[in-house]
């Protein structure tokens, strides 16, 4: 296991995308786990999905901060694509650790709205890298995605695999982030770690994700479409496991070392964070419906068969995602392990309460 070389206590930590699903949960966990932290959050609060969920997440952070007197929380509403804003945040707050989770998410949306992906995921990330270049940080951690594996046939996906064939613009922007981070790590000695997240789910998640969208549709009596005729497998990873992985990774910045040829290697790493147990979509839907009935979101006699439709694969999608997490286990002694039923139960209970079903 790697030794911790970044102490998060008494530090200023910048979290971009702080009102997002993973961002909010990470901020809450940092407040719980560390003393005297000053967390600076930035989020543009765009309306890609229901803004009230982002506002709910921010209210949860406000609540947690009010109970932790030694910690500070500054929230800035703005875009990481705004270079002047990002530079001013770094100049004013001088973060020691940066976690870049701000991005335009979603594979399908990238097919019809490419501009926002270029702005947030490329220009925005470039601004973060430039700011780290001129305001040195102890560690830059950033979100990549399992989508970088594209249509790779070999499973489970390993970070040693070639990832040169993205099947969506979203995936291409995430791969670009890894390439940019590598160049900046090499040129300017910025310790950076990229995290390839696998299908993150949980309470107060993103409504564009299948489990959330299915729930909304079933509640309205609409049909849900199951792509590739149900022959898709997804490595569903509960948000608490993702956050635990991020937290552990934050505490070890990659160190400069020499390669086999004696030349220096950049302080750069990439890890998968996934559950390593792909679930068939039909099984996933079956567990989801059981948990929605248990939480009384849907009635016990709900006719699911009448509301299911098996359809062909969508553009930009892949048939399977499956994480090889051996490097994460070896370096950090951690492996996501929350069973799908446990995670979906927590989501169903949150959904009932949030929407007052």
For residue 66, the domain's CATH number is 3.40.50.720
Instruction: Specify the pTM.
Output: 0.96
**CA atoms of 318 and 282, how far apart (whole Å):** 16
Q: What percent of the chain has pLDDT above 90?
A: 90
Contact 186, 268 (CB under 8 A): yes
* Residue 341: CA count within 13 A, CB half-sphere: 6
Q: Positive or negative, the Cα torsion across 348, 349, 353, 354?
A: negative
Inter-residue contact 292 to 345 (CB < 8 Å): no
**Structural domain contains residue 180:** yes
Q: Which two tokens stand for residue 4?
A: 């911790």
Count CB-CB contacts under 10 A for residue 11.
18
38 exposed, middle or buried (CB, 10 Å; 0-12, 13-18, 19+)? middle
Q: pLDDT tens across 66-104, in order? A: 999 999 999 999 999 999 999 999 999 999 999 999 999
Q: Is residue 70 part of a domain?
A: yes
CA distance 313 to 301: 30
Give the pLDDT mean for 332-350.
97
Kind and range of the H or E run holding 197:
strand 192-197
119, 123, 128, 133: CA torsion to nearest 10: -170
Residues ≥6 apart with Cβ < 8 Å to 78: 42, 44, 85
Could you tell me the pLDDT band of residue 49, with boundaries at 50, 70 and 90? very high
Is residue 220 in some structural domain? no
User: Which carries the bigger pLDDT value, residue 176 or residue 261?
Assistant: 176
Q: What total number of domains does the chain contain? A: 1
In-domain check, residue 316: no
pLDDT at 316 over 80: no
Q: Is 170 a catalytic residue?
A: yes
On whether residue 35 sits in a domain, the answer given is yes
- Measured CA to CA, the distance from residue 71 to residue 34 in angstroms comes to 9
* Residues spanned by the domain of 129: 12-200+236-275+321-338
Residue 348, in any domain of the structure: no
- At 22 the pLDDT is 98
Phi and psi torsions of 91, nearest 5°: -65, -45
Taking the alpha carbons of 74, 104, 277, 282 in that order, is the dihedral positive or negative? positive
Q: Which two tokens stand for residue 261?
A: 């040829």
Model confidence at 350: pLDDT above 90: yes
| Domain assignment present for 292 | no
Catalytic residue among 34, 48, 117, 170: 170
Cα–Cα distance measured from residue 124 to residue 177, given in angstroms and rounded to the nearest whole number:
10
Whether residue 156 is preceded by a cis peptide bond, meaning omega within 30 degrees of 0, is yes
Q: What is the pLDDT of residue 318?
A: 80
Would 132 be classed as within a structural domain? yes
């Amino acid at each position: 296991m790697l030794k911790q070389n970044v102490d998060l206590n008494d530090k200023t930590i910048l979290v971009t995308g702080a009102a997002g699903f993973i961002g909010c949960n990470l901020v809450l966990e940092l407040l719980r786990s560390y003393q005297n932290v000053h967390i600076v959050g930035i989020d543009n609060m765009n309306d890609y999905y229901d803004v009230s969920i982002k506002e709910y997440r921010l209210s949860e952070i406000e609540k947690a901060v009010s109970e932790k007197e030694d910690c500070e929380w500054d929230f800035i509403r703005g875009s990481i694509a705004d270079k002047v804003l990002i530079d001013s945040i770094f100049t004013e707050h001088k973060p020691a650790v940066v976690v870049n989770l701000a991005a335009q998410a979603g594979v399908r949306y990238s097919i019809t709205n490419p501009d926002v992906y270029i702005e947030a995921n490329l220009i925005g990330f470039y601004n973060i890298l430039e700011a780290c270049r001129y305001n040195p940080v102890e560690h830059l951690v950033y979100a990549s995605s399992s989508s970088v594996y594209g249509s790779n046939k070999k499973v489970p996906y390993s970070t040693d695999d070639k990832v040169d064939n993205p099947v969506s613009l979203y995936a291409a922007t995430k791969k670009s982030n890894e390439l940019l981070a590598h160049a900046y790590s090499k040129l300017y000695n910025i310790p950076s770690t990229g995290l390839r997240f696998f299908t993150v789910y949980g309470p107060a998640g993103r409504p564009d994700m299948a489990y959330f969208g299915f729930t909304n549709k079933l509640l309205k009596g609409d049909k849900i479409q199951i792509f590739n005729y149900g022959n898709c497998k997804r490595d569903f990873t509960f948000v608490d496991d993702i956050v635990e992985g991020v937290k552990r990774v934050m505490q070890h910045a990659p160190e400069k070392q020499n390669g086999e040829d004696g030349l220096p290697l950049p302080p750069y790493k990439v890890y998968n964070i996934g559950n390593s147990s792909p679930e068939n979509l039909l099984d996933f839907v079956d567990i989801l419906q059981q948990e929605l009935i248990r939480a009384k979101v849907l009635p016990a006699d709900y006719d699911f068969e009448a509301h299911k439709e098996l359809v062909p694969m969508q553009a930009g999608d892949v048939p399977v995602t499956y994480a090889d997490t051996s490097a994460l286990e070896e370096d950090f002694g951690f492996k996501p392990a929350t069973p799908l039923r446990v995670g979906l139960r927590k989501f169903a209970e949150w959904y009932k309460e949030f929407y007052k079903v």
